[in-house]
Every structure is written in structure tokens, then in C-alpha cells.
Amino acid sequence: MKINKKNINKLKNRIKATRQELESNQLRAIKKMITKNRIEDICCEEDYQYRERILTPTATILHMIGAALSREGSFQSSWHNIGQTGQSDILSKARKRLPAKIWNNLNQWINEKISKEFGEEAKWRGHRVIGVDGTCVSMSDEAELSERYGKSKSKFGLSRFPIAQMVFAFTLKTRVTVAHQIGAYKLSEQELLRRMYAQMNGGDLIIGDRHFAGANLYVEYQQYGLEFITRTHQRLKVGRLKRVKEYSKKDFIVKLPLTLKHRRKNKDLPEYVLVRILEVRAKLRGKMEQLWLVTSLLDAKKYPGNDVKDLYRKRWTVETLIEEQKIWLGSDVLRSKTAKGISKEIYARIIAGNLIHWLILKAARKHKIAAKQISTSAATRLISHYSIRMGDASKKRLGDLYEKLLDKIAGSIIPYRPNRLEPRLKKRDQKHYSILHASRAQWRKDNDINP
């Protein structure tokens, strides 16, 4: 093709048409919540300058969210799902160009919108109930990622892939991710939670397991205006504590002493912290066991013991939400090759999860049912299906299809299965291939095979 003004204009028009197609056809099921104008406004607020390329910030963001919603969880599958092929290099460069700050601000904006619309539904007796828990995620065996996150050690040696430690904070009632932190594998969950205090609101009620228990941590929570309910630390001997006030033999207030070790590190720490301890009988792994809970909710009239116990039982919701993030949204094995890419990919998958739960909340309100009854996996599939249908629909039909999507989501009810308990065991064996102990590039070199 000769380079002249006419051909240049044709090329510009073709690029413009492709850009419009990518922006308009991707994930139309969520376009009502996350619009092109909102993304462009966030870019302006951060003074992010960009050229009019095929993959604009809007197209890039939708592309990465689409990868989270895709069955495979890969960037290429998201690209193929909108009828595009090739251009892997362009996709990679577009993801790399978009600053992490844009993702952070977009995530904050979505959280604010959900809070404004469903904030009261996330509360219990005036407190926003937040479940916290940690998990690990794996990633590609790249030198940069190994140096940044590290590998786990065992008697068999180092793990074959880098592993990062993550902590999530979810609103237990609306199931929205309000904060997260990722760090090196050796970093403790408590340290990652400390980095999240700034993202909490005064009066928030944290519910955590034993990893987030301890007198020094309870003091920290209260210093940031946070309430808490946790299981007792495994080393705490409840019978040796002096009771300050007793509501019953299984519900009382004690002075919980801080260890000298923590007080030497921080001289501002008090000698003790007042906490309330309650006994709970619960079934763990099929057996009834005695558990002790520790809480800052000291007033038994305002916070009856049975209500506190029932609230803690809802902590298991966190395990379900982490499973959604790792299995349904593909965060278990991340695909990016750089530390910055890992951060952006996690944001994309968390935003995808929040958008799913936002739609679930809308569907539940429309049909006057409890959001917890709706299947997240079904909602994820329906969003992907209706995005394809809405991509080819006229503007007049979009509103009707959106309402049908909410109706279908509301119809995806999880069967009531009380006391369901299943072992975490695999039924199907893995393929019996040998393990590749070197990188594929090194294996090809050692075996004299050209790629």
C-alpha cells in the first residue's frame, strides 16, 4: 500500500472503528456500572496522558476484567471471547502501560458506589462487619517474581514457583472486597493486615481466626477505632485469667495482659487490655468442640452473647469468598510476568468479583430475596453469556437484556444444605507425567530442540 494521505485516513478510520468495537462490545453486562466516561475521568484525575491507540484504558481494563470472568482465566481467552485474534504483543504492552494507580482508584470508586447503594445492608448493630483472612497465590517462575515474593521451603526443598502471601478483607453481609494486600511469602498475615488499617472505617467490626488474635493486636485494633471478634490465641489459658465482670460462667470480661516482649518493643503499649470472652460449642471436622471467643464488644445488653456467637459463625463466609477469588476468578495461579503486572492482575480480579456481587445485590433487591442465597458461580456464567448477547444487541434492547440478566441471577438459588460437611480430598487422580524441574527454555536448550 502506498503511503499517501488517502491511505493514512483509511488506516485511521479502521483503527477508530476497531477501537470503538473493542470498547462497546466488551462486557456489556457490566457497562451500566463501570462506564467509559468514569474510566476516562479517573485517568484525568491522575493526570494520565495516553494516545488514541487501538487499546485505550477502557478497552484494556475491560479486557483484564474479562480474563477474570473467563473460564480459562487467561488474557488470550478474554481476547478471543470478543471475537478477536492475534496481537498478543499489543495486549501485553497495553497492560503494562496502564498505571496501577488507575486500578486502585477504580477499585475505590466501585467500593464507594456499592457502599452508597448497599451500605446499610453491610452493617450489624451499626457496625460494618468485615471478615479478614489470608491465603497464598502462585505465579510464573520468573526471576523478578522469585526475588520479590520468594518461595516456600519444606523438607523436599524450595517450591517450584514463587508464592505470595495475601490478606483479604470482605464485608460479610454484602460479600464485597473492601481491602487487600499482597507481600512476600515470609511476610506475616498480621503485618499485611496492618497495612490495611487505613482502608478501614472507624467502628468497623473485624472478624478473624487465631492468626489475628493476641493482646497486642487487640490494642492496635482499638487504636484505629476498630472492634473485633476472634478466636482466642492458641497459647492463651482462659482459666488463668482474672475475671473483672461476669455475665455468666461462659460470658465474662477479663484483663488480658500484654507480654513484656511486646511492651519492650513499644513502650506506649498498656499493661493489659479489657476484653470479653465467650464460650462456644461448635462442630469442627465432624466433632463437637469447645471454643473461646474474644471480643471488644463489652456491653452484654447491647451485644447479647448469642448474637455475638452467631455473628462469628458467619466468618466461614470468608473461606467461600477466598475460594471464589482463587477458583472462579483465577487468582490461584496468576499469569503476569512482573511484580507490577501481578498487582494489576489482582486488582482486575478483585474488581471483577466486586462487580459480580454488585449485580447479585441488585438482583436480590429487585426480587426481595437474600443475596447470600444466590450462586456466585452461576452469576459469573450468566454475566459472560449476557455480555455476548448484549454485544450484538441494539441500544433499544440493552435495557431489557440487563433486566433479564438480573432476573436470571435472582433465579440462581443455592439449595439449602444444613450441616453440609465434605472432606477436602480429591477424587480424580492427576495425570502421571514427570515433573519438569527446569524452565522450558532451559529444557529445550539441554535437549537441543529449537522452538
Concatenate the DSSP letters of all residues of 43-108 into one string. HHHTT------SS-HHHHHHHHHHHHHSSS--HHHHHHTTT----HHHHHHHHHHS-HHHHHHHHH
Q: Give pLDDT, residue 183.
A: 95
DSSP 314: T
Pairwise CA distance, residues 417 & 56, whole Å: 46
Count of helix runs (H) and strand runs (E) in the chain: 16, 12
Q: Which three cell numbers stand for residue 262?
A: 511486646
Q: Give pLDDT, residue 63.
A: 85
CB 348 within 8 A of CB 376: no
Q: Give pLDDT, residue 13.
A: 55
Pairwise CA distance, residues 126 & 202, whole Å: 11
User: Rounded to whole angstroms, what are the CA distances from 204 to 35, 169, 274?
Assistant: 30, 11, 18
- Phi and psi at 79, nearest 5°, equal -70, -45
Q: What is the mean pLDDT of each run of 10 residues along the chain (451 residues)?
A: 53 54 67 86 89 81 87 75 73 88 95 94 94 94 93 84 95 95 95 94 94 94 95 89 91 92 87 93 72 94 94 90 90 92 94 95 95 92 86 83 94 80 69 78 83 64
Pairwise CA distance, residues 258 & 296, whole Å: 15
Pairwise CA distance, residues 410 & 135, whole Å: 30
CA-closest candidate to residue 205, choices 177, 225, 176, 191: 225
DSSP 122: G
354 CB neighbour count, 10 Å cutoff: 23
CB 227 within 8 A of CB 221: yes
Q: Give pLDDT, residue 11.
A: 46
348 CB neighbour count, 10 Å cutoff: 30
CB 135 within 8 A of CB 322: yes
Pairwise CA distance, residues 23 & 308, whole Å: 47
- Encode 173-200: b = buried (16+ Cβ within 10 Å), e = exposed: bbbbbbbbbbbebebebbebbeebbeeb
